[in-house]
Amino acid sequence: MYPLDPNLVIPAQSQISHWAYYRLLMTLNYRNPAVLFITLLGIGALIGPLGLLGFPVLSLATFFAGYALLFPLVIYFQSLRSYRVTKFLQEVVHYEFTPVQISVRGVSFESALRWTSLYQVVELKTWFLLYSTHITAFFVPKASFASAEDQKQFKNIIIATPGIRKEINP
């Protein structure tokens, strides 16, 4: 990390497809250990009736098998409905990140907030999630940055900001 230039402005632009939004929601759901555990039980329940694990065919295992099959479908249809209803998910979104604030604007909205007002920042493989509360977040695809250097400076701003929870890869 190096000292931040107070005049630094990092632009980014993105438009999230429904498929990318669905994959993000799947990633967020399957990061939960309980969801992962129940899904693994469901996979076991699917294999069990084949005689490999000895589950009775009609039992609690049927519930877990149904869960393993239906949960991704439920997430898909909820994401589709949410994507269609929420206009800012469909719009081209322009971001400007400075050491002090985050500006986000699209065709139907405009927002600005200070870094210090964030609750948490999480880095995933292809996303940055900027949580303003424990359930509300801005989704910033890593591909929306113009360069790897912009992404590095963005991470430096996050690291340098006190008072927010950070899950950032080094």
pLDDT, tens digit only, all 170 positions of the chain: 556 777 899 999 999 999 999 999 999 988 988 888 877 777 776 666 555 555 555 566 667 777 777 889 999 999 999 999 998 899 999 999 999 999 999 999 999 999 999 999 999 999 999 999 988 999 999 999 999 999 999 999 999 999 999 999 87
Pick among 3.40.50, 1.10.357, 2.30.29, 2.60.40: CATH of 10-16+87-167: 2.30.29
pTM for the predicted model, two decimal places: 0.81
pLDDT digits (tens, 9 = 90+) for 87-96: 889 999 999 9
Q: Are 131 and 48 in contact (CB under 8 A)?
A: no
93-97 sheet: strands from edge to edge: 10-14, 93-97, 101-105, 110-114
- Sorted by sequence, the CB contacts under 8 Å of residue 11 that are 6+ apart come out as 94, 95, 96, 97, 146, 150
CA distance 53 to 10: 54
Domain extents in the chain? 10-16+87-167, 19-85
Of 25, 28, 34, which Cα lies nearest the Cα of 76?
25
